[in-house]
């Protein structure tokens, strides 16, 4: 009887049972490497996605100048192989040939000109009344040279003249008409337009954190004026061009007590307030543009807050733009997007 109870609670295993158990153990042992391989593959895929998004961040943060990097006070444009020092008065007077006037404002006249086979733009003071504004714009061009600002080629302070690279597509105001042209129509995509909007925000961030302090674009009291401050390059990037009205946020120098009365009427949050309007224009009505608007809706609402102090900084807006751009490019890259960037 005791023996029967023992068999009841501790049944004997047959040879077949032992074989099945052995196979189960071996199968479990073999499944462990398979799980590890799957986890490793998943981790590797996540790393690749992270690297891809980071590369998009770097691309969208700022475009590298097509002319390469030159030493300070040097330039390189077009087919030039080497960097050249900025042209000074003797060269500006004798080597630069004016072709025709292409623009005129209160501060300066602009002439399409030629220098050693290269098209350039010559800016001359319009009237002595605006001499300070003209010289301020020239000083800003010298101090802020980089991918966000038009290339300075030469200057002659004595003649109130400076020379910059010529961009035949003109200002951002021309964007829609340029993209309607047959040779540019394939670039009329949300990828191109969202990148330009991102570059606009990136330029503001650069100006607000420039080597010369916080700079604000005061001469942009409406959308058209704001867009006219930027040029569209032949490779579809944008560069700030008109820097005549770019005061420092606190221009009185160190050691001067702070005073609201001495502050300029604009501050950097005024530039931020304009971002949604510029983005609305730049994104246009192309397929996919509505998706970009949707993702940017919240940050644009914050930009339009009545209290300037509660608006985000250009850095904050730029962070959102980078994330939206990277995610949209990851999900819907266009066939020619890599070449375009």
- The pLDDT tens digits of the residues spanning 93-139 come to 999 999 999 999 899 999 999 999 999 999 999 999 999 999 999 99
Terminal alpha carbon distance of the chain: 87
Task: Report the distance separating Cα 232 and Cα 265, nearest Å.
Answer: 29
Confidence of residue 265 (pLDDT cuts 50, 70, 90): low
Collapsing DSSP states into helix, strand and coil, what is residue 211?
coil
131-175 per-position pLDDT tens digit: 999 999 999 999 999 999 999 999 999 999 999 999 999 999 999
Select from 141, 146, 149 the least CA-distant residue to 123.
141
Residue 217 has what pLDDT?
A: 86
Q: Residue 248's pLDDT band (boundaries 50, 70, 90)?
A: low
Lowest pLDDT segment from 65-79, 97-111, 252-266: 252-266
Mean pLDDT, all residues of the chain: 83
177-189 in b/e burial notation, b at 16+ Cβ within 10 A? ebbeeeeeeebbb
pLDDT over 60 (residue 11): no
Angle at 34 between CA 29 and CA 39, to 5 degrees: 125
Helix ranges, the chain (H):
2-9, 15-61, 89-95, 131-143, 175-179, 190-208, 223-228, 268-283, 289-303, 314-331, 337-340
- pLDDT, position 61: 45
pLDDT of residue 253: 52
332 vs 183: CA distance, rounded Å? 23
pLDDT at 242: 86
Whether residue 340 is predicted with pLDDT greater than 50 in this model: the reply is no
Percentage of the chain lying above the pLDDT 90 cut: 66
Alpha carbons 276 and 267: distance in angstroms, whole number: 17
314 C-beta neighbours (distance < 10 Å), count: 24
Binned at pLDDT 50, 70 and 90, residue 256 comes out as low
Tokens, residue 10: 């501790």
């Amino acid at each position: 009887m005791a023996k029967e109870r023992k068999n009841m609670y501790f049944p004997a295993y047959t040879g077949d049972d032992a074989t099945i158990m052995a196979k189960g153990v071996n199968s479990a042992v073999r499944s462990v490497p398979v799980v590890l391989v799957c986890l490793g593959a998943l981790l590797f895929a996540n790393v690749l996605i992270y690297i891809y998004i980071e590369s998009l961040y770097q691309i969208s943060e700022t475009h590298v100048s097509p002319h390469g990097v030159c030493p300070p006070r040097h330039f390189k444009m077009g087919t030039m192989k080497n960097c050249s020092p900025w042209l000074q008065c003797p060269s500006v007077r004798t080597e630069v040939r004016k072709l025709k006037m292409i623009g005129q404002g209160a501060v300066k006249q602009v002439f399409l000109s030629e220098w050693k086979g290269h098209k350039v733009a010559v800016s001359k003071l319009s009237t002595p009344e605006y001499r300070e504004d003209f010289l301020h714009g020239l000083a800003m061009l010298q101090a802020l040279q980089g991918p966000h600002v038009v290339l300075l080629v030469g200057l002659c302070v004595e003649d109130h003249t400076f020379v910059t690279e010529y961009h035949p597509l003109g200002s951002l105001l021309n964007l829609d008409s340029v993209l309607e042209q047959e040779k540019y129509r394939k670039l009329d995509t949300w990828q191109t337009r969202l990148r330009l909007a991102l570059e606009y925000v990136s330029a503001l961030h650069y100006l607000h954190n420039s080597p010369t302090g916080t700079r604000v674009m005061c001469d942009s009291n409406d959308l058209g004026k704001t867009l006219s401050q930027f040029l569209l390059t032949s490779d579809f990037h944008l560069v700030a061009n008109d820097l005549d009205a770019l005061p420092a946020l606190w221009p009185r120098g160190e050691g001067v007590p702070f005073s609201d009365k001495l502050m300029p009427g604009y501050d950097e949050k005024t530039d931020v307030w304009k971002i949604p309007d510029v983005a609305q224009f730049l994104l246009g009505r192309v397929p996919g543009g509505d998706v970009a608007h949707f993702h940017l809706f919240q940050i644009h609402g914050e930009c339009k807050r009545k209290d300037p102090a509660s608006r985000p900084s250009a850095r904050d807006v730029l962070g959102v733009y980078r994330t939206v751009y990277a995610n949209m490019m990851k999900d819907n890259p266009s066939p020619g997007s890599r070449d375009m960037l």
